[in-house]
Structure 1
């Protein structure tokens, strides 16, 4: 099996556009400041813009990847790897922002790489992931 990766469209597009706008705005502010502002102040504006862009990148990097070994979920700063046997199912109730993975230990894990704001694309991704979970081996009783 080749790896299948799902990433949100809107939830990636908007943060990256905002990052460009923020950095460009901060550079414009740094260049356009009155002459009594020093070089350190100007650099500070640009650095703040880059920090905001970095935070927006962290929000936009969410993804879900399924391969032969299992499912890797990247949500912001955290990455979780699950073996196929650990995942019982995938659910995304109407109105939920993203699906959750139902795990064999009784817990759930959000899969923010699939966003309901993507509409039919998200429903198709959930159906694909659900089919893979059923095919690859839901947690079986010993």
Structure 2
């Protein structure tokens, strides 16, 4: 028996590229601007005012992090979908299909319970890379088996 066939699949992670560059680039810019403003404020501004500016910058960084956080992780046993705020852990058998119709910002998973789940870890603004990532995940989905359609045999 081939030893490679028995070894578990290493985790595969897909992340959007463009939105991460924009989100984290803006985060650095926002925080640097707020710190610089806090330093150069006229003397009549109190320490609490300066602290407040930096705090607003930190909150802005947190919001931008939510935009840069999405990812899709596939392991041998499960799939983890991390969107802006929520994380969903799914067994392979729970996923019927993944699709990204033209014009949609990210793909959607059709789940065995009849619901759909947005997958923000692959984003159409990444162009050809997004299509390749979607095809790669779809191939893994077919390799790991799919759930049956609701109401099916």
TM-score, normalization: structure 2?
Answer: 0.90
Tell me the CA shift for residue 58 of structure 1: 1.4
Spell out structure 1 runs of 4+ moving beyond 4 A.
Answer: none
Gaps of 5+ in 1: none
Alignment length (residue pairs): 142
Gaps of 5+ in 2: 1-8
After superposition, the CA RMSD in angstroms is: 1.1
1:66 to 55, 74, 80: 74
Tell me the CA shift for residue 97 of structure 1: 0.3
Tell me the CA shift for residue 70 of structure 1: 1.6
Give me the whole-angstrom Cα distance separating, in 2, the residues matched to 1:139 and 1:54.
36
Query: Which residue is 1:7 aligned to?
Result: 15
Query: Which residue is 1:125 aligned to?
Result: 133
SS in 1 for 2:73: strand
TM-score, normalization: structure 1?
Answer: 0.97
Query: Which whole-Å deviations, capped at 9, do the CAs of 1:14-49 have from their partners, x for residues lacking one?
Result: 011111111111111111111010111111101110
Q: Is structure 2 residue 96 aligned with structure 1 residue 88?
A: yes
Query: Which residue is 1:24 aligned to?
Result: 32
